[in-house]
Amino acid sequence: MEQSGRADTARLSESAGRRVNDLRDFIKALEARGELKTIDLPVDPILEITEIADRVVKRGGPALLFTRPKGHSMPVLIKRP
């Protein structure tokens, strides 16, 4: 699994024209490539996020950034392998 993440980071670094050093850079690179969908609505992290992510992954969709998971202060980023 780690190898896939490294490959994604390398690919995004090349396409962004700069090194991806952290999660913020990774998110910016995904946005720049049009490979990120941000969901700003409150969503249940157990029922809604899992269902949405499952549907998007099965369709080969973009990475998902949930900015307001209910009951949590941290956003959730999901990217298919």
pLDDT tens string, the chain, 81 residues long: the values are: 445 556 565 565 555 566 889 999 999 999 999 999 999 999 999 999 999 999 999 999 999 999 999 999 999 999 987
Helix (H, G, I), strand (E, B) or coil at 36: strand
Q: Cβ contacts of residue 61 below 8 Å, gap of 6+? A: 37, 55, 80
Which sequence spans correspond to the domains of the chain?
A: 1-33, 35-81
Whole-prediction pTM value? 0.77
Token duo for residue 7: 């490959």
